[in-house]
Structures are given as C-alpha cells and as structure tokens.
Structure 1
Amino acid sequence: MKELYLNGAFMPPDEARISVMDRGFLFGDGVYEVIPSYGGRFLGLEPHLDRLDASLAALRLANPLARETWRSVLQRLIGTPPAPDQYVYLQITRGAPPERDHLCPESTEPTVMALARPIKPRAPTVAERGVTCITRPDIRWLRGEIKSISLVASVMMRREAADAGALETIMHRDGQVTEGAVSNVFVVTGDELATPPKGHLLLPGITRELALLLARDHGIRFLEHPIPLETLRGADEVWLSSSTREILPVTRLDDRPVGTGLPGPLWRRIDALYQDYKARVREGHV
C-alpha cells in the first residue's frame, strides 16, 4: 500500500494521523464500506455507495464526498496499473470535536479515510472440503442494517469461531437465523434456496444481492423468509457470502456435517455463475 486517502489528501500510510478526540476512536461513531475490485474494475460500486448513503443517513451524517469524487478517489487507490484483485476499505466518522460528549456539535467536520488492500485468493480446499462454522445467540444491537464501525460483538464472535477451529459464527435471535459475524447466510433444503429477509437484524449484503440475482437469472428458485435455527441445522447445504470471501460452502456446523459433509451441487452451480460474473467484471463486460 503506497498511499491512502485521508480528509482530502493522498499520503503514505505512515504519515496519516487522526485526533484522539475522533468520535470513531472514542465512540465507534461512524460507518464503513468494503468494495472489491477485479482487474481494476469494481464489483458493485454503485450498490456499495448506495448502502454507504443509507448507513450515513441512519446516523444522520451527510456524505462528505460527491459520488463522482468517491469514484475518482477509489479508482486512484487501486493504482495504475491496478493489482489484479483488491478491495477498498473506506470509513467515515463524525469527526473530532474539542470535547468528549455523547452529543456532538452539528458543525463538526467528518473524518474520511480510504485505503486499498489485496484480496487473498480462495484456498483450493474450500471447493474440496468447504468451511466450518459454529452457531451462537446474536448479541448485537438491533440496527444490523447499518454498516457501523462499532463491531466489538462481531470481533467477539469471530474469536469464538477461531477458538473452536471454525471460520465463522452464524448467529440467531429468538430461534431465527440472522447472519454471520461478517457474512450473510443461505440455506438449501431440497431444491429450494432461502436466505433471511432484509430488515433491522441483518446487513443487506451486496454479494447476497448478487447471488440472488444470479439465481433468478438462471432459474434457481429462492425465497427470502425467516429461517428457524433447526432448519439451518438440518439443511442440505449452507452458504456464507461477503464481498471479499465471495460465496463459501459450509460443510460442518457445530461439529456436525452439513448434508453430505461436502460442498453441495447448488453451491457449485452458483459459485460457477459468480466466478463467471467476476471474469466479466475484469473484462469490462459488466
């Protein structure tokens, strides 16, 4: 990473500084986005920026940059020529007022930061053996649709998963699946694909939406409806989706196999469609 963007300027990472009074540091008062790029072309840039606007509006923050400025900043960060596969992380906080107070002055200038990092290639073992997850009660706040930087609950859940030798924690509330600590969740029962509906309890993932779009366009039946925890545990297939991990098959859940214990046929089909879509993004055909 040669440079990052901070408050209107590009600079080397070791020169970047923010105030200790920044409300992102003191309160987690801010939002973020993660946008993948393949071959120098962003996948889902506009939906990601739309979601950024929605998160900012929920926190009553104005977007500090115009849409065209965001495009220009993000394109510069991925470089010329760009590295093959990258993601851009951007973060906006409410800024650094002179006093620490839960009520922030409305005139405070926001802090805006963005940087690019490589996307790690998917391990070949994922398609061969899948990944392992655990389930836990959803202990987060009730505004999961906001992509908030206040992520301590997700940090705790990822730690629990790692301690159990798993990749991810799938969460549930009142007997219903919500989402993973850093992912959306899909289940396959028979020939039916299902995912929990959008609402306050989960983040509307851009990869989630793309998976459903690909399913619709290729005749794969799907439903968005509540998924009981027992349905998850008895599913033929379980998937995770996120911008940097794409769509992953879960083959072991709470120390029990999912379905046959191997990546399922519907996952293989949707993954092939997703990889084809990525290839078209790289070639500039999307």
Structure 2
Amino acid sequence: MSKIAYVNGRYVRQPEAAVNIEDRGYQFGDGIYEVVHLYGGRYVDEDLHLARLERSLKEIRLPMPMSRAALRLVLREVARRNRVTEGLLYMQVTRGVARRDHPFPAKPVPPALVVTVKRIPPYPTDIEKWQSSCITLPDLRWARRDIKSVNLLPNVLARQAAREKGSIEAILYDEATGVVTEGAATTFWIVDERGAIRTRFQDHVILPGCTRAALMTELKAAGIAWDETPFTIEDMRKAREAFITSATSFVRPITKIDGAPVGDGKVGPVVRRLFDLFARHVKGDLRNAA
C-alpha cells in the first residue's frame, strides 16, 4: 500500500504530496511541528503533544489549523490509511503561502498543515541493547528553545557531529556557565554522585519535553524523587548514571559521553527501573489512553 500523507485538507500519496514553494515554512522556517509515538494503535501522550503544539503556535501568533477534535480525527485517519499501529507521526503547521516578505502576511492566509506517519521498530525490550553514547557541544541554538519551531539547523549540525563520532546524541551546554541544557533532540538527565535524579528546570532555554513530563508524572506516582536544579558539565562527568528521554528515545541509558564511561560504564539500577516504569506507561497506563 502506498504511503498516504495529509496535506492541507487532502489525503494524497506521499510521492505526489507537495507544498507551494512560497510556503513560509519552506522560506523562513515559520512553523511548528510535533512528533508523536503510535503504540498499539494509540498515540502516546497525545494530550501533552497537542497542548504543546497549541502553546508553540500561540507563542508565534499562529492559529491552530483546525480544532483539536478535528485534528485528532486527521491523526487517526492518517494512521488508518497507512495501516500503521506501531509508528511515528509527524505533523507540521506553518503560516501558509504568501509572497516572500519577512513580516507576517498583511492579509492573513490559512495555516498549512502536513501530517505523515511511518513505521518504526517495536518498543525496546532489552535495555542492554538500548544503551548508547553521546558527545557534548556548546549550545548554539536561538533563545526561544521552548518553542518547537521547524528552525532546526543547529540541532541538525549537532546530531550530525554526534553521528560522525559514532554516538546517537549531542548533549548541549552553555559555553559561558558550563551548565547543561538538553540534548539536540532529547531531554538529558543524570543520576548525580549523591544518587539524585536530575534534569534542568523548565524555562525558555529548553523544550518542554512531553516524555519528560510523562516520566515526571510516573515518578511522582511511584514516589520517586527528582531534582530540577541545573548541573554543569563537571557534575555530569561525576554522575553515576545518565539517560535521555523523548518520543523516540523513551528512556534511553547513556553509558559513555565523549568517549569516557558514565559511572562504571554499565546500565545502572536507577535507569533500569525508570526504563521499566516508562515501558508500563507506554504499553498500558490508562492515563495514557487517547
């Protein structure tokens, strides 16, 4: 069956899907996107992702292309037409098509919406095979990282640098302070030398990760404490354990950073527990139901 995309009100075969060359997403990166994991026919943390989409759109003064209820129907129809029950959905909203000029169009145009879905491998079951490595890089992104903008060139360059060194992610830090912000496309966490679970507090410097928020809810329900105080590169290098979270990484152990082992270089007991905790959330937690 051909892959089907939703493009501005039509379901079309992906090879035939197209947007206007004067779409402002193409010309200026003037748009917002979301990525949602589809597991067992259910969109994981769907409400969190749709809420973040609405927030990001509001921050750049762009209206929703349709109501949330209508958008939910589109997401399900895209999955149904592609016969995907285990996959990854991508949606993008831009300011639409207008003559190229930096300010917003003087006469508002309809927002453009594109939705696609693809199959991905099953949710990981072997945490030993899920462990990986990262590199560190200065954070060169724009100041409003809390907005999930399609402007991703610094993220692309950071991810490419990681790939060229055999790693899956680049952990970014503020050059002036040495404080870790997040991964190029993930939230970064450590279990510090005292055994505390830590990740950076939420503000305009990092993206409000949906998997981050979902994991925090699970931690609270399980009575597991965590800390949102900043930590530096030096703190990170002393950590017992480290991991990343995202809609595609879930809870992924990081056992090597910049070629050096994290802790003893093995998957630690805390990350192992959180991996199992989040697996239950993805696979059957009723709070996660669409």
Q: Which moved more, 1:110-119 or 1:179-188?
A: 110-119
Cα deviations by residue, 1:71-94 (Å, 9 ceiling, x for unpaired): 100011111795341121000111
Structure 1 residue runs without a partner (length 5+)? none
Name the structure 2 match of 1:31: 32
Matches within 5 A, 1:46-61: 46-61=47-62
Cα deviations by residue, 1:184-205 (Å, 9 ceiling, x for unpaired): 0111023310110111111011
Name the structure 2 match of 1:156: 157
Supply the AA of the counterpart residue of 1:32. Answer: Y
Assess if the C-alpha contact under 8 Å between 1:39 and 1:85 holds in 2.
yes
Supply the AA of the counterpart residue of 2:137. Answer: R
1:242 pairs, out of 246, 270, 287, with: 246
Assess if the C-alpha contact under 8 Å between 1:33 and 1:89 holds in 2.
yes
The SS at the match of 2:115 is: strand
The SS at the match of 2:284 is: helix
Moved over 4 A (4+): 122-126, 281-286
- What is the rounded CA distance, in whole Å, between the counterparts of 1:41 and 1:83 in structure 2? 10
The 1:221/1:283 distance shift into structure 2, 3 A limit, reads: closer
Cα deviations by residue, 1:68-123 (Å, 9 ceiling, x for unpaired): 101100011111795341121000111110x2110121412221100111123366
Name the structure 2 match of 1:258: 262
Assess if the C-alpha contact under 8 Å between 2:171 and 2:184 holds in 1.
yes
Structure 2 residue runs without a partner (length 5+)? none
- What is the rounded CA distance, in whole Å, between the counterparts of 1:64 and 1:129 in structure 2? 37
Assess if the C-alpha contact under 8 Å between 2:186 and 2:244 holds in 1.
yes
Name the structure 1 match of 2:119: 118
Q: Shift of residue 284 of structure 1?
A: 8.1
Supply the AA of the counterpart residue of 2:151. Answer: S
2:183 pairs, out of 180, 183, 192, with: 180
TM-score (norm. length: structure 1) = 0.94
Assess if the C-alpha contact under 8 Å between 1:145 and 1:200 holds in 2.
yes
Supply the AA of the counterpart residue of 2:115. Answer: A
- What is the rounded CA distance, in whole Å, between the counterparts of 1:283 and 1:212 in structure 2? 13
Name the structure 2 match of 1:101: 101
Name the structure 2 match of 1:224: 228
Identical columns (%): 35
Assess if the C-alpha contact under 8 Å between 2:133 and 2:169 holds in 1.
yes
- What is the rounded CA distance, in whole Å, between the counterparts of 1:83 and 1:71 in structure 2? 16
Cα deviations by residue, 1:145-178 (Å, 9 ceiling, x for unpaired): 0000000000000011011111100000131110
- What is the rounded CA distance, in whole Å, between the counterparts of 1:277 and 1:39 in structure 2? 13
1:197 pairs, out of 180, 195, 201, with: 201
Cα deviations by residue, 1:11-63 (Å, 9 ceiling, x for unpaired): 11122121111111111110000011111111111110000011001111011
Name the structure 2 match of 1:64: 65
The 1:282/1:40 distance shift into structure 2, 3 A limit, reads: farther
Root-mean-square deviation (CA), in Å?
2.0
- What is the rounded CA distance, in whole Å, between the counterparts of 1:125 and 1:255 in structure 2? 23
Name the structure 2 match of 1:87: 88
- What is the rounded CA distance, in whole Å, between the counterparts of 1:184 and 1:243 in structure 2? 10
TM-score (norm. length: structure 2) = 0.93
Name the structure 1 match of 2:281: 277
The SS at the match of 1:92 is: strand
Q: Shift of residue 124 of structure 1?
A: 6.7
